[in-house]
Structure 1
Amino acid sequence: MKLRLDLRLSQKLIMTPQLQQAIKLLQLSRLELQQTLEQHLLENPVLEEVQSEVEEAEAAASEDGVPPVEPSNDTVASAESAGTANDRDNPEELSASGWEDYFDSDRRAGDVEYPSGGQDEMPSFEQTLTTATSLEEHLRWQLSLCGLSEREKMIGRLIIGNLDDDGYLRISLEEVVAGTDFTPTEAENVLSEIQKFDPAGVGARNLPECLLLQLGYLGRSPIGSIGARPGALRGAVVESIILHHLKDLEKKQYAKIAKTLDVSCEEVFEATRVIEGLEPKPGRPFSSTDNHVIVPDVFVVKHEGQWVVLLNDEGLPRMRISPYCKQLLATQGASGETKAYLDEKMRAAQWVLRSIEQRNKTIVKVVSSIVKFQEAFFEQGVQHLRPLVLKQVADDVGMHESTISRVTANKYLYCPQGMVELKYFFNAGLQRTDLQGEMLSSVTVREMIRRMVAEEDSAHPLKDEEIAARLRGQQIMIARRTVAKYRAEENIPSASQRKRFF
């Protein structure tokens, strides 16, 4: 065995930190990208944010062929003295404070004179904001007004703090008072008082108890009373259904309920109307209803008969390399350690700017390819959406499928059809029987199923087999189980659950 040297050539894909950063920037959403760029501005002194006024001034100077000149201290001083002289020459012109005094003195005869506060005395924007009252705050306010003792109010605060967002007490009273000197009996008494608070049904431990608490506010007049016949349930039909037949009511098995309770179906229908008017989640009105605005990454508009993709960079920080740092690197005044630090930050800044530029180009290229494949959708709507997979777009733009997946993740476009997620355009297809080789998008089929269900007779809802037969009548090859799958994905109940008897 002997040692020897060989020269071999090979290609390897090495994930450098710069490449990892570029891939990470590519798959970020718009909000995440904004936060990332702001973080780079904070950490890298070589990067600076460009204001729109600076850009306009530099653009105007470059058009004139004159470099922008920074005003010197002498120039500023002369300008200030000139402004003071102009004010003396034109005594009728008012300064900013003069305008404020002028408007403050504008009072009509008979007006009551009140002291006018300055602008500094006005409340800030944050002080004028209001927040919605939470369920816990609403219940604590009622607890403070009730006639319970201080010990009972302490137990009440414990119970209120353990209610979930729906207003239910999901844990036992033993767990509530664990680690305290309160007893479960005391907690039970306080809970019964909290259950009288607004909203009705709050503090219930399960759905039947919640509905019965609300039923108590409606009065105990029996709707279709059963009476006290031997072997029959006592009380009203509504209470009996709530206590024993909620599962049957969910499945619309009215005949079974009527037979079990020994009443007519009309009485069951009347009781069902009352139950439908109750609130299964008392805390719903106090839940957070904040709407999160989606800002599109690109706009797709039609210009001179052609669809054009426009990148939306509004709201994103516009960065550049600081001219001062460039000048500092070019001169010999910086020490070796400082120059090495600036060199490192300069390379990082240049890579960030290149990555952002490449990201923007890639997004525009991919969206342009999607527009080319789905032009019928942009022209006529969702009924003309075509089946599309990542490989088709990847082959069209000359990229890998994983790159297309990263580009289309968490990104939106705005077009005449509305705000659409980029992932929306990629879907499977169903074969048509009238046009060989022509496929129909699964999204279009889901929309057709949703419209059929919306237009059906509620007394005779369409079954999955009937929907499949109608679709096959429209030359779409589809099975019943596929219809059931699409219906479940659209959160459409089954035919038995959609049936209405009244």
Structure 2
Amino acid sequence: MALELRQQLKLSQKLVMTPQLRLAIKLLQMNRLELGDALQAEIEQNPGLEEDVSIQEHRENPQSLSTTTEQKGTEKEQDYTDQVRAEDTIPETNWEDYANTFDSNVSFSHETPAADAPSQFDFISEKPGLLAYLQWQLAHAELEPEEWDTALFIAGNLNRYGFLECSLEEVMEATKCDRDSAEYILEVIQDLDPPGIAARDVSESLFLQLERMGMKDSLAAEIVKDHLNHLQTRNYKAISQATGRKRNEVIKAIEFITSELTPYPGLPYSTETTNYVVPDVYVRKIDGEFVIHLNEEDIPNLKLSSQLQELLQADEGTIEKSSKAYIREKLKDAGWFIKSLHQRQRTIFKVMESILKFQREFFEHGATRLKPLILRDVAEDIEMHESTISRVTSNKYVHTPLGIYELKYFFSTAIPRAGEESLAAESIRERIRKMIQDEDPHKPLSDNSISEKLAERNIEIARRTVAKYREQLKILPVKHRRKPK
């Protein structure tokens, strides 16, 4: 078969991802905090985009957007180059109030402090982590230089729970010390605060805390050292038989362990930051009706740069053609950015409006009335693609009268019921949670008992499904929930 070159015409369809489409998708899938960072970065990078803080505007319709006005049921789309007004006028900052000078009010003599006096910013402290806290204590332990290296190695190998993650052999190999020195330094660290630090497991940590209290020979110490497995399952009978103590004494010792001791002494010193949720949309009930309001706080009101527009309209010869082309490109990019931002807000509003329509009973009565809902239902309702709905509902949150929920929360699979309307899986999880919340603590409900009680309400689910939902709710099994009389 001979090889040859040919020309061939072929007709095909394909999706072309234009820069404008990629920008719109990128903004759509951002959460509230990421959006604020993206807007600020775009303002800094694009000279054709600026924040308008010149005029204070009061929005009479909270549901309307910056580029949309509703008049008698008709929606008039404004040109995206219109200026987006600020809701509040930002006052000019007086930087003298934030001068890096010492506050004279703390001086008892009310005299002007010296120029080299410490700044108030020098007193701003940061919460120390576990390692820093231990190093501060070790600095007063009067250790030899080689002992100090061993102590730092041990302290540096504690995990976030305060447990030692390496063996003494590894300590000896890394620091070139003998076993007696490694054991001595480990005891020094275990004598530091918090009690129970540098233990190898939970049992040793609890025992060290009891030893610090002078209770190393108590029944509680015997339980945490030799019968921790029975303590975890609350097997009072087995502990009573193994220790030869009365049941009441065992119960009293276990109550002391669970109330006065902590299994993870290092957690209070964790430096992990808390990620706060900022809702993207609010649903409020006003005069018996639910009103949707987009969260536009802290989002800068954007407009095209008036200076660049004036330069673009200047007479020929004032600026070079290359400069005009650059200005025209930046203004075009700024316009597309503003339009994509407004499109994102409109899409979130439409999706939330559709969710409210499908899940109105949830907003009225709570999670037990949540209905089965899939992405396709909302997509068909607002005539958008499922992938768009998926991007909108990911990492987006709504503030409702019942609390803050992720938009994904309202989508749940259907659990069929004979002769009745199907229930959402989340609704059944909420029913299980309430059952366990209201149970008798001395006779808690087993997974099989919960399955039978649900069956009485025409909700047929297996015991293993109840166990799966209970684990998703982070609820302990029945043997761990049972309390003695």
TM-score between both structures, scaled by the size of structure 2: 0.81
Task: Name the aligned partner's letter for residue 338 of structure 1.
Answer: S
Cα offset for 1:310?
Answer: 1.4
CA RMSD in angstroms comes to 3.0
Contact 1:47–1:349 (8 Å) recurs in 2: yes
Q: Which amino acid aligns with 1:416?
A: P
SS in 1 for 2:483: coil
Which residue identity does 1:494 align to in structure 2? P
Q: Secondary structure at the match of 2:56?
A: helix
Alignment of 1:183-198 (within 5 A): 183-198=178-193
The corresponding residue for 1:43 is 45
**Aligned in 2, Cα 1:200/1:325: closer, same or farther, shift over 3 Å?**
same
Q: Residue 113 of structure 1: CA displacement?
A: 6.3
1:370 to 342, 355, 361: 355
Match of 1:164 in 2: 159
- Unpaired segments of 5 or more residues in structure 1? 60-96, 98-111, 224-236
Which residue does the alignment assign to 1:448? Answer: 431
Q: Does 1:219 align with 2:221?
A: no
Aligned to 1:314: 297
- Report the Cα offset of residue 9 of structure 1: 5.2
- Is contact 1:387–1:439 with CA below 8 Å preserved after alignment? yes
- What secondary structure is seen at the aligned counterpart in 2 of 1:315? coil
In the TM superposition, residue 405 of structure 1 has moved relative to its aligned partner by 0.6
Runs (5+) with no aligned partner, structure 2: 60-95, 97-107
Correspondence 1:399 to 2:384: yes
In structure 2, the residue corresponding to 1:259 is in which secondary structure?
helix
Residues 162 and 265, structure 2, Cα contact 8 Å, conserved in 1: yes
* 1:103-502 superposed matches below 5 A: 114-116=110-112, 123=119, 126-176=121-171, 178-220=173-215, 222-223=217-218, 237-276=219-258, 277-288=260-271, 290-303=273-286, 305-331=288-314, 332=316, 333-433=318-418, 436-502=419-485
Deviations 1:271-314 (A, max 9, x none): 32343232111112222475443221111123454322211111
Corresponding residue SS for 1:440: strand
The DSSP-based 3-state class of the residue aligned with 2:139 is: helix
In structure 2, C-alpha distance between the alignment counterparts of 1:118 and 1:395, rounded to whole Å: 71
Does structure 2 conserve the Cα–Cα contact (< 8 Å) formed by 1:162 and 1:176? no
Letter matched to residue 498 of structure 1: R
2:19 to 11, 14, 17: 17
- Structure 1's 161 and 113: CA in aligned 2 closer, same or farther, altered over 3 A? closer
Deviates more, 1:364-373 or 1:150-159: 150-159
Q: Which amino acid aligns with 1:420?
A: Y
> Percentage identity across aligned positions?
41
SS in 2 for 1:145: coil
Q: Return the alpha-carbon distance in structure 2 between the equivalents of residues 490 and 252 of structure 1.
A: 21
Greater CA drift, 175-184 or 357-366 = 175-184
8 Å CA contact 2:305–2:331 kept in 1: the answer is no
**Corresponding residue SS for 2:399:** strand
- Is the 1:464–1:483 contact (alpha carbons within 8 Å) kept by the matching residues of 2? yes
Within 2, Cα distance between the matches of 1:290 and 1:255? 43
Compared CA separation, residues 8 and 194, structure 1 to 2 (3 A): closer
Q: Name the TM-score, length of structure 1 as normaliser.
A: 0.78
For 1:42-61, list aligned pairs within 5 A: 42-51=44-53, 54-56=54-56
* Bigger mean CA deviation after superposition, 371-380 or 340-349: 340-349
Alpha-carbon distance change, 113 to 193 in structure 1, aligned in 2, over 3 angstroms? closer
CA contact (8 A) 1:27 1:409 kept: yes
For the Cα contact (< 8 Å) 1:297–1:312, is it kept in 2?
A: yes
Q: What is the SS of the residue equivalent to 2:392?
A: helix
Q: Which has the higher contact order (CA 8 A, sep 6+)?
A: 2
- Alignment partner of 1:55: what SS? coil
Asked if structure 2 preserves the Cα contact closer than 8 Å seen for 1:135 and 1:283, the reply is yes
Letter in 2 for 1:169: L
Cα distance between partner residues in 2 of 1:452 and 1:173: 48
